[in-house]
Amino acid sequence: MKVTIQPSGLKGAIQAPASKSSMQRACAAALLRKGKTVIQNPGHSNDDKAALQIMQDLGATVTSNEGDYMVQSQGVSPVSEEIFCGESGLSIRMFTPLAALSFQRIIVTGEGSLVNRPMHFFDLVFPQLGVDITSNENKLPLQIKGPLRPLDIKVDGSLSSQFLTGLLLAYASATEEEVEGKPSITITVDSLTSKPYIDLTLDVMQRFGLQVPVNNEYREFTFKTGFPQQQADEVVYTVEGDWSGAAFLLVAGAIAGPLTVRGLDISSTQADRRILDALMMANAGMATDTKGIHLVPTEMRGFNFDATDCPDLFPPLVALASYCKGTTSIKGVSRLAHKESNRALTLQEEFDKMGVDIELDGDIMRIRPGKLVKGADVESHHDHRIAMACAVAALRADSETVIDDAEAVNKSYPDFFNDLEKMGVNLSSDTKIRLI
């Protein structure tokens, strides 16, 4: 699908999309929880749909009622020999350890960029926990057979915190029973990245009555053994607004507002809440109150920002920096290689077409905007965040911008282009905007 965006202003108020980070973790916790869960404000992205299907393949039943999801589960009890994760990195890293709680042999598959992402974490860790695993040279598909036995273990957290999220959830379930001779079990972590996402995982575990480990400065996570779930008739969980998707809306408002973004929790543990820090550093016209976050265009300046713990902010930050006077430096480039595309190189390639110079210097990205952002023909590289970054940068470009493979936004924010259009953006496409 190609979307053409004419230089446009934004006006009005928009509700932030549902957080897929929150939604997918809720699906995993609802699977582990023995009883009924109500998930309110659920997401409907492709990644959310993958998580919903996986939890059903692993034994939960899910029904829809007036927009909410009703989940019944008695823990992991697979009804399928395969789980399909689509292109969701979080789903494969989080649900694979949960599938390993079962005695059943399970095949774990995915598609698109996911088939090329490294999965050596599982090849290294699972045999230490009694799980049989075979992989395609550390990539998909995986074949696993548990059950996972919780033991003291040391893991590398440098590639992604999502692997640790999966282990934490699996250990919370596996330590419900006594472990002979072990009153407690510890996961030791080296070089953990994206710590705020672990905070989100622990928060979801607490809300669902799962055991929350003692967190020793993100280096050790200690579980008691023989620790049953906290019982309640049902858990009602409301999925947060998504700071990752809303970051593009907030930047759009700073470039081409006025715009108000509603439905975001200022105190959220989501890592991408730090977009507010970047906007303040850039001198964006921003105010917050009980009605939402309000943005108006102002003269903005280049800024220095460390995105190591929030690498998904790179694309909206590049769009923001394209309209800032002076050079912007962003740290954390090493976190971008194993995304839906190699995001550092992809951002450099596509924003060069729009007249924005991006220099990659080790772990630092430097953005030097031209006098004007140029309209151009750009490609998403089937990366949802690249498509959205180019769309936001196009709002005040000197001519129209055409985004190829724009349907990539369905991975996380299927209503993105619809929402822009509602706010007054002049855009068109060669097919239906929303393809899910």
Half-sphere exposure for 43 (CA within 13 Å, toward CB): 30
d(CA 240, CA 171) in angstroms, rounded, equals 25
Other residues' Cβ atoms within 10 Å of the Cβ of residue 13: 14
Is 357 one of the catalytic residues? no
The answer to whether residues 208 and 32 touch, using CB atoms and an 8 Å cutoff, is yes
Q: Of these residues, 47, 242, 312, 419, which one is catalytic?
A: 312
* 197 phi and psi angles, rounded to 5 deg: -70, -30
Residue 194 vs residues 22, 159, 184, 243, 319: alpha-carbon distances, Å: 15, 10, 26, 15, 22
The answer to whether residues 200 and 171 touch, using CB atoms and an 8 Å cutoff, is no
d(CA 406, CA 16) in angstroms, rounded, equals 20
Exposure string for 272-295, b = 16+ CB within 10 A, e = fewer? bbbbbebbebbbbbbeeeeebbbb
Tokens of 116: 């090329």
Half-sphere exposure for 413 (CA within 13 Å, toward CB): 26
d(CA 83, CA 341) in angstroms, rounded, equals 23
Q: Which residues are catalytic?
A: 312
